[in-house]
C-alpha cells in the first residue's frame, strides 16, 4: 500500500520517534479507552484508543510495539479494574498499600497480552507487505488474544473491547459471533480509518470495504429476531437485600438477614418466580434446613411460586459449593462451576494454604460444581443459571441452550463497593442476553439488579445500594442464535485462519534458497 503525502505527515506528527512521547501516548490511549465502557459508555473511544495504538505500531520495532502495547494495557487495566483493590483491602487483611500494589501487579500481568499482540503484529508480516497487512494482522491478533485472556489460567475476560459497543450498531454482530466478533469489528474500524488516512488510490477501497462490512453488517443485523416465544410471559420478582459485605457473615446477623429476605419475599408471592442474590443466606443449607428452608419451601408451594435462593451447600467429603437452590414444586440445586481464583478457591493449595489463612477471606475454599448444562426448572421452565463471575464467560452461559427458556445470574458485587465494577458487570450481563437471544434476570445483593431483554436492553433495574424488589414480566423463548450454536470457535477459527496468510508469507520470505 502506497502511503500518501498527507499520511506520511500524519505518521510523523502523531507517532513521535522518541521513547517518552510514544510511551505516554500509548498509556493515554489505554486509559481513555476505559471511558468507552460502562458507566461512561463513550463507545467511540474504543475505536479512538486502538487507532492511536495501531498508528504507533506501524513504524515500531518488535520491542517498541511490545512496550507500547503493554503500556496501553497498563492504562486500560490499571484504571479499568482498579476497583479490585477494594475487596483485597477490606476483606483480604493486607492493608490498603499492599492491596493497591497487588491490584497494579495484576493489571501489569494482564497488560502483557497487549504487549504480545504488538510484538507479533510487527514480527509476523514481512517487511515488504506494508501497512495494509500489518493493520489487518493486528486486528486478527487482537481478537485472538482477547479470547486467550478470557480462557488461559481460568481466564479474565473483563474489558474486552466488544463490551463497550453494547449500545452501538456494532453490537449487531454479537448474536452472530459473540463479544469477540464485536471486538474484531472495533479493531477493523480503527484500522480502516487509519488506512484511509494513509492510503492512496485503489488501496483505499480495501478499507472502505472493511468499514462497510463492520458497520453496515452491524446495522443490518441489529434487530434481527433469532428467537421466538415458547409460551406465555411469567411474572418475576428479584429481591435486592442490600446487606453490607462487612456485616454479612457475622453470626449475629444471620437471623436479621433471613427476616429481611423473608419479609421482602412474602410481599411477592404473587410472582411465578422469586430470585435472591448469590449467598443471600449467609449459612450452609444444612444448618438452616429445618428452621428456614423447609418453611420457605412450603410457603412457595402454597403460593404456587418458585423461590431461587443463593446459599452455600455442604456435601460429604468436606466439600462446599456456591449454590443456587430452587424451592417450590421440586427442589434442585446448581453449584457454581467456574470459581474465582484466590476469592473462591486457592490455586496450588498445598503450597499456598498459609496465604489463604492469612488473608482470611470468608468462604474462600469452594469446590467447583460438576460439568454439564447449568439448568434448573423454575416456574415450569428450564432456566440457564450462572453465579457472579460466570456470566463473563459467554461460551459457558450458552451451554444451557437451547433448553433454557431464559437465563438467571445471581451476583454479589458488594465486594467492590461503589465502583466501576457494578456498571461494568451489568454491561457484561447485557452482552450475554444479546448473544443468546434470551431474557436474563440478574439478582444482586447491593445492585445493580436488572431484567435484561433479549436485545441487550435493560428493561428494568433496581437502584444500587438500596433495598428493592424488582418485578416484571419475562417471556420464555426458544430457538438458537448463531453464536449459541457455534460459540467462540467461529470467530477464533476465522481470526486464526486469516493469520495463516501473513505467517505463510513470512515463512516463504525466511526460507533459504536452495
Tens of pLDDT, residues 211-267: 999 999 999 999 899 999 999 999 999 999 999 888 888 889 999 999 999 999 999
Cβ count near 8 (within 10 Å): 11
- The alpha-helical segments, DSSP class H, found in 418-481 are 421-436
pLDDT of residue 514: 44
**Per-domain boundaries in the chain:** 5-225+488-510, 228-480
Out of 139, 146, 297, 336, the active site residue is 336
Please give the grid coordinates belonging to residue 483: 453464536
Residue 214 in contact with residue 182, Cβ under 8 Å?
no
Report the percentage of the chain scoring pLDDT > 90. Answer: 72
Of the candidates 231, 313, 303, the one whose C-alpha atom is nearest the C-alpha of residue 271 is 303
Residue 512, pLDDT > 60, answer: no
Asked whether 319 and 286 are in contact (CB, 8 A), the reply is: no
Q: Which pLDDT does position 501 carry in this prediction?
A: 77
What pLDDT, in 10s, does the model give residues 33-81? 999 999 999 999 999 999 999 999 988 999 999 999 999 999 999 999 9
Catalytic position from the list 68, 297, 388, 435: 388
Cα separation, 377 vs 383, whole angstroms: 6
DSSP string, 217-228: HHHHHTT----E
> To the nearest whole number, what is the mean pLDDT of the chain?
90
3-state SS string for 339-394 = CCECCCECCCHHHHHHHHHHHCCCCCCCCCCCCCCCEEEECCEEEEEEEHHHHHCH
Cα–Cα distances (Å) from 39 to 16, 46, 161, in that order, read 33, 14, 15
Neighbours of 13 (CB within 10 A): 8
Where is pLDDT greater, at 138 or 364? Answer: 138
CATH level 2 (architecture), domain 228-480: 4-Layer Sandwich (3.60)
367 has pLDDT over 90: no
Average pLDDT over residues 494-504: 84
Choice among 68, 146, 278, 297 that is catalytic: 278
301 is catalytic: no
Q: Are strands 281-284 and 273-275 parallel, antiparallel or unpaired?
A: unpaired
What pLDDT band is residue 1 in, cutting at 50, 70 and 90?
very low
- Sign (positive/negative) of CA torsion 12, 35, 411, 471? negative
Whether the per-residue pLDDT at 366 is higher than 60: the answer is yes
Q: Could you read off the pLDDT of 378-419 as tens digits, one per residue?
A: 999 999 999 999 999 999 999 999 999 999 999 999 889 899
- Cα–Cα separations (whole angstroms), residue 390 to 156, 341, 387, 501: 11, 12, 6, 35
Q: Is 139 a catalytic residue?
A: no
What is the chain's Cα-based Rg?
Answer: 24
- Quickly state the pLDDT bin for 127 (edges 50, 70, 90): very low
Which residue in 272, 212, 188, 194 sits closest to 472, CA to CA? 272
Amino acid at each position: 500500500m502506497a502511503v500518501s503525502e498527507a499520511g506520511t505527515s500524519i505518521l510523523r506528527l502523531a507517532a513521535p520517534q522518541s521513547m517518552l512521547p510514544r510511551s505516554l501516548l500509548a498509556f493515554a490511549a489505554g486509559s481513555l479507552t476505559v471511558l468507552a465502557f460502562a458507566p461512561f459508555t463513550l463507545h467511540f473511544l474504543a475505536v479512538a484508543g486502538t487507532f492511536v495504538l495501531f498508528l504507533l505500531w506501524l513504524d515500531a520495532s518488535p520491542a517498541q510495539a511490545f512496550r507500547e502495547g503493554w503500556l496501553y494495557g497498563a492504562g486500560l487495566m490499571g484504571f479499568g479494574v482498579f476497583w479490585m483493590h477494594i475487596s483485597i483491602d477490606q476483606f483480604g487483611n493486607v492493608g490498603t498499600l499492599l492491596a493497591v500494589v497487588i491490584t497494579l501487579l495484576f493489571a501489569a500481568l494482564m497488560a502483557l497480552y497487549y504487549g504480545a499482540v504488538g510484538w507479533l503484529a510487527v514480527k509476523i508480516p514481512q517487511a515488504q507487505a506494508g501497512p495494509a497487512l500489518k493493520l489487518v494482522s493486528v486486528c486478527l491478533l487482537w481478537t485472538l488474544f482477547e479470547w486467550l485472556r478470557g480462557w488461559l489460567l481460568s481466564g479474565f475476560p473483563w474489558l474486552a473491547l466488544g463490551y463497550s459497543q453494547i449500545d452501538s450498531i456494532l453490537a449487531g454482530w454479537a448474536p452472530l459471533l459473540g463479544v469477540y466478533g464485536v471486538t474484531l469489528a472495533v479493531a477493523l474500524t480503527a484500522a480502516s480509518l487509519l488506512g484511509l488516512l494513509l492510503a492512496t488510490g485503489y488501496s483505499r477501497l480495501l478499507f472502505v470495504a472493511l468499514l462497510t462490512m463492520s458497520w453496515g453488517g452491524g446495522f443490518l443485523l441489529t434487530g434481527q429476531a433469532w428467537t421466538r416465544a415458547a409460551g406465555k410471559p411469567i411474572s418475576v420478582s428479584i429481591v435486592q437485600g442490600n446487606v453490607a459485605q462487612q456485616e454479612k457473615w457475622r453470626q449475629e446477623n444471620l437471623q436479621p438477614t433471613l427476616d429481611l429476605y423473608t419479609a421482602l419475599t412474602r410481599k411477592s408471592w404473587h410472582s411465578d418466580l422469586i430470585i435472591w442474590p448469590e449467598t443471600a443466606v449467609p449459612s450452609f443449607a444444612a444448618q438452616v434446613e429445618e428452621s428456614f428452608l423447609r418453611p420457605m419451601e412450603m410457603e412457595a408451594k402454597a403460593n404456587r411460586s418458585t423461590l431461587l435462593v443463593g446459599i452455600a451447600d455442604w456435601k460429604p467429603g468436606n466439600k462446599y459449593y456456591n449454590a443456587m437452590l430452587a424451592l417450590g414444586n421440586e427442589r434442585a440445586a446448581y453449584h457454581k462451576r467456574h470459581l474465582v481464583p484466590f476469592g473462591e478457591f486457592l490455586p496450588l493449595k498445598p503450597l499456598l494454604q498459609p496465604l489463604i489463612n492469612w488473608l482470611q477471606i470468608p468462604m474462600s475454599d469452594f469446590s467447583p460444581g460438576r460439568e454439564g448444562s447449568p439448568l434448573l426448572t423454575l416456574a415450569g421452565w428450564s432456566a440457564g443459571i450462572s453465579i457472579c463471575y460466570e456470566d463473563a464467560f459467554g461460551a459457558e452461559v450458552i451451554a444451557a441452550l437451547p433448553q433454557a427458556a431464559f437465563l438467571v445470574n445471581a451476583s454479589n458485587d458488594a465486594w467492590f463497593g461503589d465502583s466501576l465494577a457494578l456498571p461494568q458487570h451489568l454491561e457484561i450481563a447485557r452482552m450475554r442476553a444479546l448473544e443468546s437471544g434470551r431474557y436474563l434476570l440478574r439478582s444482586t445483593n447491593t445492585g445493580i439488579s436488572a431484567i435484561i431483554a433479549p436485545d441487550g436492553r435493560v428493561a428494568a433495574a433496581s437502584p444500587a445500594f438500596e433495598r428493592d424488589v424488582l418485578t416484571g414480566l419475562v417471556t420464555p423463548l426458544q430457538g438458537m442464535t448463531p453464536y449459541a450454536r457455534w460459540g467462540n470457535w467461529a470467530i477464533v477459527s476465522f481470526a486464526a485462519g486469516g493469520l495463516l496468510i501473513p505467517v505463510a508469507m513470512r515463512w516463504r520470505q525466511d526460507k533459504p534458497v536452495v
